[in-house]
Amino acid sequence: MFNPHDFHTPQSSYAEPDLLRSSEGGYFGPGNAQLPAPPMLMMDRITDIGIDGGAFGKGRVAAELDVAPDHWFFACHFAGDPVMPGCLGLDAMWQIIGFWLGWSGSPGKGRALGVGEVKFRGHITPDVRLVRYEVDLRQVRRGRLVLGIADGRVFADGACVYLAKDMRVGLIAPAG
């Protein structure tokens, strides 16, 4: 497996072109973590990423999505009552954890492995302008299995609308 830091020098923030390059694969080296391509890429930028800090001192990531009334999910969820599916907010946080694992130097392909608890306290509609994701790593295991366990929050124009605890993302070795 390739060491992600042989291909990428960690930065403290990332603009949309960086995230799009990550979705093409190889950003952290062949066979390593990558973000999904649009339209499943659920963020426009990472505003802050760190190896320590956050609520548990193990790492933190903040990312944002600019919401437009014509985002693809509003047209189909729900007709006449458009709302961003809650699972997309959860997926965005899984994406962030996988990116953090590659960014922090662990090899392998990211896979969401589960979540302990999710609470929805509101929703994201076409009237919302900015979604902010905040993820705090609680535990990071690096060995045969690379595992990131984190808690996260989703904010719609500053109001917390989703809470998730014990989100788990693993990095698996590429086949071959």
Three-state secondary structure string covering 60-90: EEEEEEECCCCCHHHHHCCCCCCCCCHHHHH
Is residue 77 a contact partner of residue 84, using CB atoms and an 8 Å limit?
yes
User: Which are the contacts of 110, defined by CB distance < 8 A and separation ≥ 6?
Assistant: 33, 34, 94, 97, 98, 99, 101, 102, 169, 170, 171
Residue tagged active-site, from 5, 71, 77, 123 = 77
- Amino acid 32 reads N
Q: What number of CA atoms fall less than 13 Å from residue 49's CA on the CB side?
A: 20
Does 123 participate in catalysis according to the annotation?
no
Contact between 148 and 97 (Cβ < 8 Å): yes
Catalytic residues: 77
